[in-house]
Amino acid sequence: MSSIWEYANPRRFMATSGALLPWISAIAAICLVVGLVWGFFFTPNDFRQGSTVKIIYVHVPSAIMAVNAWLMMLVASLIWVVRRHHVSALAAKAAAPVGMVFTLIALFTGAVWGQPMWGTWWEWDPRLTSFLILFLFYLGFMALWEAIENPDQAADLTAVLCLVGSVFAVISRYALVFWNQGLHQGATLSLDAEQNIADVFWYPLITVMAGFGFLFLALVLYRTRTEIRARRVKALIAQERMA
């Protein structure tokens, strides 16, 4: 009973995810509302950046989730390749558009933030550029899923693409540092630091980060459930035809 592979069974997955989904959605909603209201209305302005600093409450969490969504797809693809659990492949498929939207949000809020602070909407900075490339990887992954009719074949090929793409995405990330130094600041938040940023900003930020994490989880579960249902309907229609 204790193994995580129990959830490779779609029936079990549907039962458990159905029970969890309202809770996860509620936590995501509460975290997002509390964190965003707190961050937007009850934190002081930065003494140099003014009120634009508040973009951080959308920009940073979406950027973190954009990368983590790809990581989750990588793990799900690996599980599909190794153990051939269909739920895993469908979860990778379901996560791609969500991750793509997070990437887009990060790019967009970054541009909106960069305009008043750096004086430019776009700069060919390593971080910005690697996010643009990540966006292209999401597009390619989704396009390949759409282009292939046989779902098993599509799952296999997109999994191979995801594995190879991950390697190249990492290479690109570090290659870009060679190419241009850029404007974006280095890592500000890290797990082992004593204090990352002042507590007044940190508590709302971490609340929103948790909110984005749960939002991602809820959306992926929801979309995976839809995919499973769609596949069941397809199987039922095929059965009807046979009969």
Partner 1 sequence: MIGLLKRDLALAIRAGGGFGLSLAFFLIFTALVPFGVGPETGRLSEMAAGLLWLGALLACLLSLDRIFQLDWEDGTLDLLATSPLPLESVAALKALAHWLTTGLPLVAAAPVLGILLNLPGAAYPWLIASLFVGTPALSIIGTFGAALTVGIKRGGLLLSLLVLPLYVPTLLFGALAATRGAQGLDATTPLALTAGITLGAAALLPFAAAAALRVNLR
Q: Which amino acid is located at 202 in the chain? A: W
The nearest distance, CB 163 to partner 1, in angstroms, is: 7
Q: Least distance (Å) from partner 1 to the CB of residue 133?
A: 5
Kindly identify the residues of this chain, within the stretch 171-190, that bind partner 1 according to CB under 8 A: 171-172, 175-176, 178-179
Query: Which of 64, 78, 148, 206 contacts partner 1 by CB under 8 A?
Result: 148
Cβ 151 to partner 1 shortest distance, Å = 12
124 binds partner 1 per the rule CB under 8 A? no
CA distance 117 to 50: 10
Q: Which is nearer to partner 1, 177 or 235 (CB)?
A: 177
163 touches partner 1 (CB under 8 A): yes
144 binds partner 1 (CB under 8 A): yes
Q: Which of 5, 124, 168, 202 binds partner 1 (CB under 8 A)?
A: 168
Please report where in the chains the tokens 């936590």 appear, as a residue: 27
Out of 164, 197, 233, 236, name the contact with partner 1 by CB under 8 A.
164
Figure out which of the listed residues 26, 139, 198, 233 binds partner 1, where binding follows CB under 8 A.
Answer: 139
Q: Is 133 in the site for partner 1 (CB under 8 A)?
A: yes
Q: List contacts with partner 1 (CB under 8 A).
A: 133, 136-137, 139-140, 143-144, 147-148, 153, 156-157, 160-161, 163-165, 167-169, 171-172, 175-176, 178-179
